Amino acid sequence: VLVSVISSPQNYPLYIRSVPTENELKFHYTVHTSLDVVDEKISAMGKALVDQRELYLGLLYPTEDYKVYGYVTNSKVKFVMVVDSSNTALRDNEIRSMFRKLHNSYTDIMCNPFYNPGDRIHSRAFDNMVNSMMMQVC
């Protein structure tokens, strides 16, 4: 399982964390390639009205090993989550709630005046939240 937060204009990662620490490079690569899919979905949503539901992009694409889920915020910050396909217990709702928690924690970080957007995220609270979430999954 891997979670990553990617900032919008330059598409570089603000935060990447994966639980099984082997194969990390493969995860990174997956996230990077999935950005294309995310961008495609964003451009497809041409509607002017953006509501909460559309922030969740759903299953971006499944491969043989794992599934990739995407979520984009109103400020075009993308959250990408990669989970093992063997985790059949993970339902869509759970993924949604995980993204929601991520989004909440991200806004908490934004509240911190010492945080400059575009910096890597070092917040301990965010780390704890992500860790607990990933522990839940695995």
Contact residues for another protein, defined by CB under 8 A: 51-53, 74-75, 97, 100, 104, 107-108, 110-117, 122-125
What is the greatest pairwise CA distance in the chain?
43
Nearer of residues 63 and 107 to another protein, judged by Cβ: 107
Tokens 């964003």, residue located: 42
CB of 114 to another protein, least distance (A): 4
How many helices (H) and strands (E) the chain has is answered by 4, 5
Q: Could you tell me the smallest distance in angstroms from the CB atom of residue 51 to another protein? A: 7
63 or 104: whose CB is closer to another protein? 104
Residue 48: count other Cβ atoms within 10 Å of its Cβ: 5
Name the minimum Å distance from CB 101 to another protein: 9
Least Å distance, CB 31 to another protein, is 23
Of the two residues 20 and 122, which places its CB atom closer to another protein in the complex?
122
Query: Reduced to 3 states, what is the DSSP secondary structure of residue 70?
Result: strand
Determine contact, residues 7/49, Cβ cutoff 8 Å. Answer: no
Residues 6+ apart with CB under 8 A from 83: 1, 66, 67, 69, 90, 95, 137
Residue showing tokens 């979520």: 71
Nearer to another protein, 63 or 112 (CB): 112
